[in-house]
Amino acid sequence: MNKLNNKIHVNDFIIVLRPVMQNTTEEDNGASVWVGDVQVKLLTDLSKISLDEYQHESMLKICNLMAASIPSMHENAFVRHVVEHYLRHHELDLEHVDIEEHEEEKVDENNNIIKLVFNSETKGNA
């Protein structure tokens, strides 16, 4: 695969994983701690995307599969084992990106956000 540059492009699908934080007691200086859950968001700009309908749907499918892997790994040890095995044997190119560099390119939060909540009554199985 080609190395990605840090610029956000019109056809990018951005998967945001946000840790669910909880405030601790005043005895702990009121710090926030991660409770182990994550919120997943998919960001894309439909007003600028140049993919056709089939390509767009295919990208959405990939993103949804990636998002679904989170609760799948939690609920199924075999799935978690397969993903961990892949990770051990394939180097992933992870980059740290300065979010402030992209401030002028922010996607409108009300434009096209898909929010998946896996700790709902259906536990992500709806």
Inside any domain, residue 6 = no
Looking at the domain assignment, is residue 30 inside a domain?
yes
Q: Which helix (H) or strand (E) holds 85?
A: helix 77-89
Range of the domain at 102: 14-116
Closest by Cα among 58, 75, 88 to 118: 75
Position 74 in a domain:
yes
Domain count along the chain? 1
pLDDT of residue 105: 44
Is 26 domain-assigned?
yes
Entry field: residues in the chain: 126
Residue 27 lies in a domain: yes
Residue 124 lies inside a defined structural domain of this protein: no
* Residues 6+ positions from 59 with CB-CB distance below 8 Å: 11, 13, 44, 51
Question: Looking at residue 106, what is its pLDDT?
Answer: 47
Domain-embedded: residue 50: yes
Does 8 fall in a domain? no
| Low-confidence residues of the chain: pLDDT under 50 | 1, 103-107, 124, 126
